[in-house]
Amino acid sequence: MSDISFVRTEMLPQQAPPATSVGVIGWMRANLFSGWLNSVLSVVSGAFILYVVWFLLSWTLSPTWAAASLNECREILAGHEGACWGVIRDRWVQLLFGFYPSELYWRPILTFVLLFVALAPVLFSEKVPAKLIYFSAAFPFIMPWMLWGGTIWGPLTAAAGFVIGYVVFKAVDRAVGSLAGIIAGVAASLVWWLLLAGPVSGTLGDVLNIGLTPVESRYFGGMMLSITIGVVAIACSLPIGIVLALGRRSDLLIVKSLCVGFIEFIRGVPLITLLFVASTLLNIFMPPGTNFDIIMRVIIMATLFASAYMAEVIRGGLAALPKGQYEGADSLGLDYWQSQRLVIMPQALKISIPGIVSTFIGLFKDTTLVSVIGLLDPLGLSNAIRADAAWNGVVWELYGFIAFLFFVFCFSMSRYSMYLERKLRTDHH
Amino acid sequence: MSELAIDRDIDRSKMTVSDEVAIEISNMNKWYGSFHVLRDINLTVNRGERIVIAGPSGSGKSTLIRCINRLEEHQSGKIVVDGTELTSDLKNIDKIRSEVGMCFQHFNLFPHLTILENCTLAPIWVRKVPKKEAEATAMHFLEKVKIPDQAHKYPGQLSGGQQQRVAIARSLCMKPRIMLFDEPTSALDPEMIKEVLDTMIELAEEGMTMLCVTHEMGFARQVANRVIFMDQGQIVEQNEPEEFFNNPKSERTKLFLSQILGH
């Protein structure tokens, strides 16, 4: 009979893992050379990657920077394979700014820099002074003024609409109730914007004409146009998407039906269709003489399109939250909006980060579709450039450059989302 | 379903039941769809009472206490909590919820907030208490449940027992007059059940009005002043714990007790 009794008298201390399982050697053993088949595959795919990189490098590193036309490129290359970079040297400014007046380039550049200042408090809230958020709030009014120019009174009267709406909301909220307050506030703002803001800013402009040289929308183009449409649509689609997602889960039948109808309609229609509606049909329905800016119309359509997708992404996040979170918030006496804002949304949005950022990236890339309705985004411009006799036949270089520009923005968004996910992790770490 | 021995003396000096009515439920019925979950419930809870609700799963005991703070809506009958009747009036519901604390089987702490933020959230936003004051109150209750040193961690970094104690502290920060417990120890390891029960006993010793849905019969025997047995959505039997355990009247209760108290 064996003795199964055992008592440990001292606990074992921690020991370091064996050297072959850590560090570079450990990683290579585990990931590249863990068996003879894997070793062969590693070597073969390594060789293939080297070959592709070598080919790309030899194509990219071609001494054609100074060439003034495709024919000059061919002379320089003398029969070798290689890129014709002269087109980028010649036209990169156009690809960035379209036909924006060159003496005013400082305005889009400054706007772009200020965009990051305005984004900082939103993206990196713990690393910048909290007061900067006031600048973020003002930026939506600064940006269009900087880009389109005109008198300072336009953005100021637009901002005044929000102030008026808020004041009316507060007054009615105190006197009647919050729902009546919201309706009255929105109505007051709309009346201001639609009827009064124009004449008021016009009068003020006559009295005191401070402003920037106006630049019409038809001069907008290139990355500047893509970024303008993309940034505004991204910034607007998130809040609209949140409201639609909440509406879709609402118990109120009419609110719910409206949200479901909107989301399903927009998702069921291609973006191109919406853009065509924006470019042609809307003008038919407008009263004659109204001049509703084409870029503004496109931004509105892109925003609506993205917010329908956003709503579904966020609804996914909401559905993933355990019911207990709602009950926890309810049981503490938080009202609907408090529990949404403080408990539900922070978690639902965190879950949805990958989907939200995917939608952002998709939206940003979809801005290239505006070339179909004649706006000169980078792709639209590339067609125009290739129509030039000097560059007729250049394809890879142009598309490569545009792809690179888009990649920089999309990749940054993707990396930021990963940083955000890491930062918001609150389980064991 | 064991009977965990409570190995401490209970200070009964403040455990007194007053004549004042805290909760009054009369002729209350509730259906889930066409399923009649709660049938003609009549229950009066006086201030200072410690009531344990027992019964097999599906008997409606959780649903009953969840009706008291309107996490579930009842379809007929009347529930009056602290003199306020529960109707669809949202103001009343929020008022009652802020005065009735609740602890859940799965704690329902907010994982994106630290322990301290979990405890100060509702006082700051519902009671409009200044942040500093809310934090001081929160630390006071965290000390009471013996985890002040975890205040700046996140719920995911705590053990189940610690999380449940935080959940109790979070409810207490709202200074509730009634506490509801919905199987607070059912998701815990035996080692952790005891620390949560100890916290609940301390609460009882201070005279808190408590309704507990639990399978901890040791707790029921020593802390409760009344045990309610439910089956099929009805109150089958209620009595003082001594009588309830030693001398059950209904056959259904006898069967239940023989099954959970072992052999």
pLDDT digits (tens, 9 = 90+) for B161-183: 999 999 999 999 999 999 999 99
pLDDT digits (tens, 9 = 90+) for A385-419: 988 888 888 888 999 999 999 999 999 999 999 99
Contact between A306 and A234 under an 8 Å Cβ cutoff? The reply is yes
pLDDT of residue B70: 92
Question: Cβ–Cβ of B174/A428 closer than 8 Å?
Answer: no
pLDDT of B6 > 70? The answer is no
Residue A28: enclosing H or E segment and its boundaries? helix A23-31
pLDDT of residue A157: 86
Task: Compute the CA torsion angle A152, A153, A158, A160 (nearest 10 deg).
Answer: 120
Find, among B97, B202, B193, B85, the residue nearest to B143 by Cα: B202
Residues of A (183-212) whose Cβ lies below 8 Å from B: none
Residue where the block lists tokens 């990236």:
A361
- In chain A the domains, ranked by start, together with CATH numbers, are 150-212 (no CATH), 219-429 (1.10.3720.10)
pLDDT digits (tens, 9 = 90+) for B98-112: 899 999 999 999 999
Chain A contact present for B69, CB below 8 A: yes
In angstroms, what separates the C-alpha of B159 from chain A's closest C-alpha? Answer: 11
Question: Cβ–Cβ of B101/A328 closer than 8 Å?
Answer: no
Q: CA-CA distance, A19 to A23, in Å (whole number)?
A: 8
The more confidently predicted of residues A76 and B171 is B171
Residues in A touching B109 (Cβ below 8 Å): 328
Contact between A142 and A155 under an 8 Å Cβ cutoff? The reply is yes
pLDDT digits (tens, 9 = 90+) for A31-58: 888 889 999 999 999 999 999 999 999 9
Question: Cβ–Cβ of A342/B95 closer than 8 Å?
Answer: no
In angstroms, what separates the C-alpha of A66 from chain B's closest C-alpha? Answer: 56
Q: CA-CA distance, B71 to B65, in Å (whole number)?
A: 9
pLDDT digits (tens, 9 = 90+) for B57-84: 889 999 999 999 999 999 999 999 988 9
- Please report, for residues A328, A334, B46, the alpha-carbon distance to residue B103 in angstroms, rounded to integers and kept in the order given: 8, 16, 20
A1 pLDDT tier (thresholds 50, 70, 90): low
* Residue-range domain boundaries for chain B: 21-106+178-261
Question: Could you tell me what percent of chain B has a pLDDT over 90?
Answer: 76
The size of chain A, in residues, is: 429
Mean pLDDT of A6-13: 87
Chain B contact present for A328, CB below 8 A: yes
Chain A contact present for B131, CB below 8 A: no
Q: Could you tell me which residues are beta bridge partners of residue B44?
A: B24
pLDDT of residue A174: 83
Question: Cβ–Cβ of A334/B126 closer than 8 Å?
Answer: yes
A254 pLDDT tier (thresholds 50, 70, 90): very high
Residues in B touching A329 (Cβ below 8 Å): 110
What's the number of CA atoms in the CB half-sphere (13 Å) around residue B187? 16
Question: Cβ–Cβ of B108/A325 closer than 8 Å?
Answer: yes
pLDDT of B254 > 80? The answer is yes
Question: Cβ–Cβ of A328/B110 closer than 8 Å?
Answer: yes
Question: Cβ–Cβ of A427/B174 closer than 8 Å?
Answer: no
Q: Provide the token pair at A114.
A: 């200020």
Q: Provide the token pair at A269.
A: 């229609």
Find, among A172, A143, A147, the residue nearest to A158 by Cα: A143
In angstroms, what separates the C-alpha of A188 from chain B's closest C-alpha? Answer: 28
Determine the residue of chain B that is closest to A334 in CA distance: B126
Question: Could you tell me what percent of chain A has a pLDDT over 90?
Answer: 45
Chain A contact present for B156, CB below 8 A: yes
Mean pLDDT of chain A: 89
pLDDT of residue B5: 60
pLDDT of A293 > 50? The answer is yes
In angstroms, what separates the C-alpha of B228 from chain A's closest C-alpha? Answer: 23
Q: Provide the token pair at B74.
A: 């009842």
pLDDT of A183 > 90? The answer is no
Determine the residue of chain A that is closest to B127 in CA distance: A333
- DSSP 3-state of B258: helix
Q: Could you tell me which residues are beta bridge partners of residue A208?
A: none
Q: Does domain B21-106+178-261 sit in CATH 3.40.50.720? A: no
Share in percent of chain B as helix, strand, coil (round to 5)? 40, 25, 40
How much is the ipTM here?
A: 0.91
pLDDT of residue A2: 66
pLDDT of B263 > 60? The answer is no
Mean pLDDT of A119-135: 87
Residues in B touching A334 (Cβ below 8 Å): 94, 121-122, 125-126
First CA to last CA distance, chain B: 12
Contact between A243 and A116 under an 8 Å Cβ cutoff? The reply is no
Q: CA-CA distance, B236 to B150, in Å (whole number)?
A: 43
Mean pLDDT of A156-169: 89
- Please report, for residues A159, A421, B65, B225, B246, the alpha-carbon distance to residue B54 in angstroms, rounded to integers and kept in the order given: 61, 43, 12, 14, 15
- Please report, for residues A254, A376, A404, B217, the alpha-carbon distance to residue A381 in angstroms, rounded to integers and kept in the order given: 45, 5, 16, 78
pLDDT of residue A415: 94
In angstroms, what separates the C-alpha of A4 from chain B's closest C-alpha? Answer: 27
pLDDT of residue B1: 46
Question: Read out DSSP for B46-89?
Answer: ETT-EEEEE--TTSSHHHHHHHHTTSS--SEEEEEETTEE--S-
DSSP assigned state of A11: P
Chain B contact present for A347, CB below 8 A: yes
pLDDT of residue A65: 86
pLDDT of A345 > 50? The answer is yes
Determine the residue of chain B that is closest to A331 in CA distance: B97
pLDDT of residue A122: 87
Q: CA-CA distance, A418 to A152, in Å (whole number)?
A: 39
